[in-house]
Amino acid sequence: MKILEEFISRLVPNLAGFLGSNCEVVFHDFRRGYDETVVLIENGHVTNRKVKDCPTNLLFEKFNDNMMEGSPIYFNTSKDGRIIKSCSTMIRDEDGKITGALCLNMDITDMILAQNAISAHTSYDSNAASEVVFANDVQELLEMYLTQCETRFSKPGALMSRDEKVRALEFLDSRGVFMISKAGVRLCEFFNVSKYTLYTYLEEARSRGNGNLKK
């Protein structure tokens, strides 16, 4: 692993230098959890991130689905509307467990505007763009999903019925929210339930069909 870390420490700045200032190169380390996974980053201005920031929402949503390994190149948009072309490569240990990821995020907004000159980089389909949130803090992702829950049921979490809370937890669980440390504390507050009740509802949500709730 030490040899890999030394290699990555050279690869990240080399890739950034080769690909230019419009390409962010990020190395995520998942071995100590998912709250502060960015350990190396070059050209962080592309997504406005820095060391100790968290991964995007795609990690939490797709982690158990061999995240993007079948289709490593995808398109998304930044918070300020710029078009980002991304590529994520998962890193596994000797046992096959995902321990990190090397990600490239290239701002191709100018390339889209100059599509005729650089057509190889402009196969962008807004309808197929991934819903990626480049967050600085996992709490920002958690609050985003809680807001989506309130929108789904048209009421605050504390006012939801028991069945609605179970369905909301099914949705949150499908988004990987429970990978976020101390998420349970915020969820207890959001739903106005005890820790015991929260995990009783979560167990019921998971027993209903493992993802029957449409994303």
* DSSP string across 172-207: HHHTTGGGSTTHHHHHHHHHT--HHHHHHHHHHHHH
Q: Is residue 124 part of a domain?
A: yes
Per-residue pLDDT of the chain (215 residues; tens, 9 = 90+): 677 788 999 999 999 999 999 999 999 999 989 999 999 999 999 999 999 999 988 888 877 655 555 567 888 888 888 999 999 888 888 888 889 999 999 999 988 877 765 555 556 666 665 667 888 899 999 999 999 999 999 999 999 999 999 999 999 999 999 999 999 999 999 999 999 999 999 999 999 865 444 33
Q: How far apart are CA 81 and CA 39, in angstroms?
A: 26
Q: What is the dihedral of CA 18, 1, 55, 44, to 10 degrees?
A: -30
For residues 61 and 164, membership in a common domain is answered with no
β-sheet bridge partners, residue 28: 38, 101
For residues 56 and 127, membership in a common domain is answered with yes
The answer for residues whose C-beta is within 8 angstroms of residue 106's C-beta and 6 or more apart is 19, 22, 23, 24, 46, 84, 85, 86
Q: Is residue 214 part of a domain?
A: no
In three-state secondary structure terms, 105 is: strand
For residues 106 and 147, membership in a common domain is answered with no
For residues 145 and 198, membership in a common domain is answered with yes
For residues 117 and 101, membership in a common domain is answered with yes
| Token output for 156 | 């605050």
Q: Is residue 215 part of a domain?
A: no
Q: Is residue 106 part of a domain?
A: yes
For residues 13 and 115, membership in a common domain is answered with yes
pLDDT at 129: 59
Q: Is residue 158 part of a domain?
A: yes
The domain containing residue 158 runs over which residues?
140-207
Q: From 93, 118, 135, give the residue that closes a domain.
A: 135
For the chain, the domain total comes to 2
For residues 56 and 69, membership in a common domain is answered with yes
Distance, CA of 2 to chain centre: 26
Q: Is residue 212 part of a domain?
A: no
Task: Supply the CATH number for residue 79's domain.
Answer: 3.30.450
For residues 93 and 189, membership in a common domain is answered with no
For residues 92 and 24, membership in a common domain is answered with yes
Q: How far apart are CA 71 and CA 207, in angstroms?
A: 30
pLDDT at 35: 93
pLDDT at 21: 95
Q: From 104, 135, 166, give the residue that closes a domain.
A: 135
Is the Cβ–Cβ distance between 10 and 18 less than 8 Å? no
pLDDT at 2: 73
Report which of 176, 172, 145, 209 is spatially closest to residue 63, judged by C-alpha positions.
176
Q: Is residue 213 part of a domain?
A: no
Report which of 139, 80, 73 is spatially closest to residue 106, judged by C-alpha positions.
73
For residues 28 and 77, membership in a common domain is answered with yes
Q: From 119, 135, 151, give the residue that closes a domain.
A: 135
For residues 57 and 151, membership in a common domain is answered with no
Q: What is the dihedral of CA 40, 46, 52, 53, to 10 degrees?
A: -140
For residues 78 and 170, membership in a common domain is answered with no
pLDDT at 50: 96
